[in-house]
Amino acid sequence: MQFTKMHGIGNDFIILNGFRQGTESPDLVTKRLCDRHYGIGADGVIFALPSQAADARMRIINADGGEPEMCGNGIRCLGKFLYDEGIVRKTSMTIETLAGVLALDLRVEDGAVQSITVDMGAPRFDPAEIPVDADTNRVTIDLDGQPARFFCVSMGNPHAVTYDLYPDDAPFRRFGAMLERHPLFPRRANIEFCRLRQDGGVDVRVWERGDGETLACGTGACAVVAAGASLGLLPRSAAVHLPGGVLDIRWAEDDHIFMTGPAETVFKGEF
């Protein structure tokens, strides 16, 4: 099995070329490949597949074997992979996901992909669409005796964003694991803890559904800006600072959110 290891500001993936090779039992394969001690090590496996509706189709399986609807850092990695491998040799391409068909624009200099902008679509705030088991997308959850307010939003996958706390390592991991599977979130949720910066940006720590703590989350960065702008805490364009790096997020007037960031190839190999 040939693979390419890639990352988007630290959120790392194993890319398998489904245009050339098939894979049986993708959930079991993913668990083995993503093991950081006995496998290659990654937050998830991305299958690059043919599509009837777009230039390519992205299927992503998280390290725990679960299949999310979308991944912002992952789709940038896939865009670079498709371009570098000559599968889709275009600077504007479309990729089919479980959250719909998304458009990518690649900035290429001297034949090398420098950054990728993804039209992530419009954020959704309806509790039934997120989903969140409440009458509103704004919920309050008790954390160690302290109420924390969460603004819930879907970017094709569920997010719960709070600006009320930015916890240290131990409480972050405890709260993240508990909140991911909180009864309010019937399909679990990605959790973002946010801290406003003096330069107008925002610091974010992400607990990803199915992966736990990750260095970055593209859909999470979009959810953070959608929540922050809706609450009057952020402008509609902001730099989102994650542990692995920075993503530039713009919530346009047409309601679509555009995410811009890098994607890097780490190495290629055979497993």
Contact of 103 with 94, CB cutoff 8 Å: yes
State yes or no: is 77 an active-site residue.
no
Instruction: Render 126-158 in DSSP notation, one character per residue.
Output: -TTTTT-SSSSSEEEEEETTEEEEEEEEESSSE
Give the residue carrying structure tokens 């902008």.
117
| From 71, 77, 194, 222, active-site residue | 71
Nearest alpha carbon to residue 160 among 97, 226, 244: 226
Which residues, other chains included, contact 171 with Cβ-Cβ below 8 Å and sequence gap of 6+? 143, 144
The one-letter amino acid code at 227 reads A
Indicate if 217 belongs to the active site.
Answer: yes
For the chain, where are the alpha helices, taking DSSP H only? 26-34, 72-84, 169-180, 218-230
Q: Count Cα atoms within 13 angstroms, Cβ side, for 73.
A: 30
CA distance 222 to 169: 23
Amino acid at 141: I
Strand positions, DSSP E, the chain: 2-8, 11-17, 44-49, 56-62, 92-97, 100-109, 112-119, 138-143, 146-154, 158-162, 190-196, 202-208, 212-214, 237-242, 245-251, 257-261, 264-270
Options 77, 152, 194, 217, the catalytic residue? 217
Q: Based on C-alpha coordinates, what's the Rg of the chain? A: 18
Where in the sequence numbering do the catalytic residues fall?
71, 217
